[in-house]
Structure 1
Amino acid sequence: MNTEPKNVPTAVEDFLPIQGTDYIEIYVGNATQAAHYYQTAFGFQPIARRGLETGSKESVSYVLQQDKIRLVLSSPLKGGTEIGKHIDQHGDGVKVVALWVDDARKSWEETTKRGAKSYMEPVVEQDDHGRVVRSGIHTYGETVHIFVERKDYKGIFLPGFEAWNPHYQPTDIGLKYVDHMVGNVGWNQMNTWVDFYAEVMGFSQLVSFDDKDISTDYTALMSKVMSNGNGRIKFPINEPAEGKKKSQIEEYLDFYGGSGVQHIAVATDNIIETVTALRDRGVEFLRVPTTYYEDLLQRVGKIEEDLEPLKELGILVDRDEEGYLLQIFTKPIEPRPTLFFEIIQRKGAKSFGKGNFKALFEAIEREQASRGTL
């Protein structure tokens, strides 16, 4: 495993400076109910909406936010729409990973001239609160990146949206920001998309795992993590590897109907409190056997947290040269076994939990077996 960044761009070399994740748009069958779920279960706050009341005849969208994490949930308002076709093929899933940039036009020009397929030419959107510039490119599957330039905008979200301030506003649960987002791609496609992020977007390979790192007795996968110049955006890319049975990546590809976003990792400053709140609000998590905790401290060394609540909640721990991390994964949050969330708290660690891979994937295999898809 290579843990050292390769050719990390300097500020001068970084032709695509990205300030962070602007929003994640998920196409869903029922945005009204999905918005209620993300408020109730995950503690997201209602921010803005767009629909028939705002003049949108094709689709409805609800914008939810928790600290620096912003979700947009969109559904079609009639048959035969692009959103509807996407849902029919993929089920509920991530369509847009929007990136906050200082210059959306330059971002589009720099990436398209390096080979990106344009999804959305630069467009200026305006209302009484100012102007936003957006542009976009295609990535793996039907996933797209939209570049958002909002330095001249003071509105609630984007032009075309109105403030949404319902009476029902559950408290948040301490989620802070998007730590990383993982994409699943097809057989032998990982390096193609690694090269895309390196050559088209100027990302660097942060770390790689092969089937010796990520395997059990039955299944395996390979993964490489790509990061932008300032490290605010990290995209692990997974592909299947040969195994005795069907891997979680193959299961995802079958049910999603191709490549797409597998999971969204969101950070917290207190994973015990956050996961307790999520569990109490009905979110279900993958569980590892209690034997995982028998030699945990021997494996990872001294940690600040008490072991008992970690064991009770099923939180995993791993350590690298920089420190340690705590992480846990929800079960899929859609009817299909596709999209899920990771909750992560970093105590200095820069890695992604390599030491937990075997226990985690065995837990996933138990879920696959219960679904009859292993």
Structure 2
Amino acid sequence: MSKDNSSLQLEKVIPEADDFLPILGTDFVELYVGNAKQAAYYYQHAWGFQPVAYSGLETGQQDSVSYVLQQGKIRIVLTSPLQPSGAINAHIDKHGDGVKFVALWVDDAKKSYEETTKRGAKSYVEPYELEDNHGKVVISGIHTYGETVHLFIERGEYKGPFMPGYRTYAPLAKSPETGLKYIDHMVGNVGWNEMNKWCEFYAKVMGFAQMVSFDDKDISTDYTALMSKVMSNGNGRIKFPINEPAEGKKKSQIEEYIDFYNGAGVQHIALATDNIIETVTSLRDRGVEFLYVPETYYDDLLDRVGEIDEELAPLKELGVLVDRDDEGYLLQIFTKPVLDRPTMFFEIIQRKGAQSFGKGNFKALFEAIEREQDLRGTLK
């Protein structure tokens, strides 16, 4: 499923960003998982992703299997090993299911590789081409925090379902979409005192600029705290908040993540919708579990954020949070971890003008996460 080049709007919205690549958007996010077939079923029927492409034994792939799913502009790839040992098995054994590749859509994968490696990025793979009767794709890649990799994907000359080596994946059973449109931002958790290092990486190596920062006074409760900075490319299509732990009385969610993931990695992916009430209702009805927010959060909500278009009752019933900045407001909600390990989760977000990240909701959100940590016995 090719992306549409005709609708590109690449105006620079973050003036401080060098934006020398440039990046057109997120091409796909690939997770290494223990059972790709079952994970694909979950994301199709619980989340409304649509089947797109498949690679495995039937396509000549001997050591792994991958399912490609898409909803709106969000494309996820789920990959499992077919043989013992090897890099995929090692990744799953260490981290559990989790994000391995954050693939970025670019005009020139070779130039993107050269520009980033000459600025200090560690090479993951040098530029190479894949070709079939649908055209060609050019791929290159660099290492980032933990074992996470950024791939650069150049697909302007490709018209197939995903890329060479894949065939169309069309199971008989499909579920309706849930209104998810695109990836709003993707959050990385890094270790103690590593946030600035990785923010500098995105600034120097990839031409990003810092949008906003939060310290432990902004993001804290009575028990835990963290620090965060948000890095963005010039056109604002790629936003990477980077979190690190901060000192608190008990173990923070970032420490819990790093303990169970065994290192730095992608903590959550924020998916945008145009109607959060309809999307969350659909997801909840299909079994997706969200964090609980106490009803008292809504007692003075309108006094805090002002007038909003939505009725308060369904927001309260679903547990949707609301925050306002100088440009408008946003609505957001967070799932519980979608894996057995308390690592990766999703955010659903609807922006009504706001360009911020819900600073006014941090306390309520973190207290909700701490309640879940307490149930798991990891809030110590």
The TM-score by the shorter chain falls in which range? over 0.9
- Cα RMSD between the aligned structures? 0.8
Residue identity opposite 1:110 in structure 2: E
C-alpha contact (below 8 Å) 2:15/2:234 kept by paired residues? no
**2:34 is the counterpart of 1:29:** yes
1:163-312 matches, within 5 Å, as 163-312=168-317
C-alpha contact (below 8 Å) 2:14/2:236 kept by paired residues? no
Residue identity opposite 1:237 in structure 2: I
| In structure 2, C-alpha distance between the alignment counterparts of 1:51 and 1:99, rounded to whole Å | 23
2:333 corresponds to: 328
2:125 corresponds to: 120
Q: Give the 3-state SS of the residue equivalent to 1:42 in structure 2.
A: coil
Query: What are the superposed Cα offsets for residues 287-345 of structure 1, whole Å, 9 maximum, x if unpaired?
Result: 11100000000000000000000000000000000000000000000000000000000
Q: Can you give the 5+ residue segments of structure 2 that lack an aligned partner in the other structure?
A: 1-12
| In structure 2, C-alpha distance between the alignment counterparts of 1:7 and 1:90, rounded to whole Å | 37
Q: Give the 3-state SS of the residue equivalent to 1:352 in structure 2.
A: coil
Q: Can you give the 5+ residue segments of structure 1 that lack an aligned partner in the other structure?
A: none
| In structure 2, C-alpha distance between the alignment counterparts of 1:7 and 1:157, rounded to whole Å | 33
| In structure 2, C-alpha distance between the alignment counterparts of 1:259 and 1:341, rounded to whole Å | 17
| In structure 2, C-alpha distance between the alignment counterparts of 1:211 and 1:27, rounded to whole Å | 32
Query: What are the superposed Cα offsets for residues 11-44 of structure 1, whole Å, 9 maximum, x if unpaired?
Result: xx42110000000000100000000000010000
**2:118 is the counterpart of 1:110:** no
1:73 corresponds to: 78
TM-score with structure 2 setting the length? 0.96
2:377 corresponds to: 372
1:10-21 matches, within 5 Å, as 13-21=18-26
Task: State the shift of 1:101 in Å.
Answer: 0.1
| In structure 2, C-alpha distance between the alignment counterparts of 1:179 and 1:155, rounded to whole Å | 26
Which of 337, 341, 353 is matched with 2:358 structurally?
A: 353
Which of 152, 159, 170 is matched with 2:157 structurally?
A: 152
Aligned length, in residue pairs: 367
| In structure 2, C-alpha distance between the alignment counterparts of 1:167 and 1:6, rounded to whole Å | 44
**2:58 is the counterpart of 1:50:** no
Task: State the shift of 1:372 in Å.
Answer: 0.2
C-alpha contact (below 8 Å) 2:66/2:78 kept by paired residues? yes
Which of 329, 333, 340 is matched with 2:345 structurally?
A: 340
| In structure 1, C-alpha distance between the alignment counterparts of 2:86 and 2:298, rounded to whole Å | 49
Task: State the shift of 1:6 in Å.
Answer: 7.5
Query: What are the superposed Cα offsets for residues 175-230 of structure 1, whole Å, 9 maximum, x if unpaired?
Result: 00000000000000000000000000000000000000000000000000000011
Q: Give the 3-state SS of the residue equivalent to 1:114 in structure 2.
A: coil
Which of 47, 68, 90 is matched with 1:63 structurally?
A: 68
Identity of aligned residues (%): 75
Which of 9, 16, 27 is matched with 1:8 structurally?
A: 16
| In structure 2, C-alpha distance between the alignment counterparts of 1:331 and 1:296, rounded to whole Å | 23
| In structure 2, C-alpha distance between the alignment counterparts of 1:253 and 1:330, rounded to whole Å | 18
C-alpha contact (below 8 Å) 2:14/2:235 kept by paired residues? no
Task: State the shift of 1:8 in Å.
Answer: 1.9
| In structure 2, C-alpha distance between the alignment counterparts of 1:42 and 1:6, rounded to whole Å | 32
C-alpha contact (below 8 Å) 2:48/2:177 kept by paired residues? yes
Residue identity opposite 2:334 in structure 1: F
Superposition misfits of 4+ residues, deviation over 3 angstroms? none
Task: State the shift of 1:81 in Å.
Answer: 1.6
Residue identity opposite 2:36 in structure 1: A
Residue identity opposite 2:223 in structure 1: Y
Residue identity opposite 1:20 in structure 2: G
Q: Give the 3-state SS of the residue equivalent to 2:206 in structure 1.
A: coil
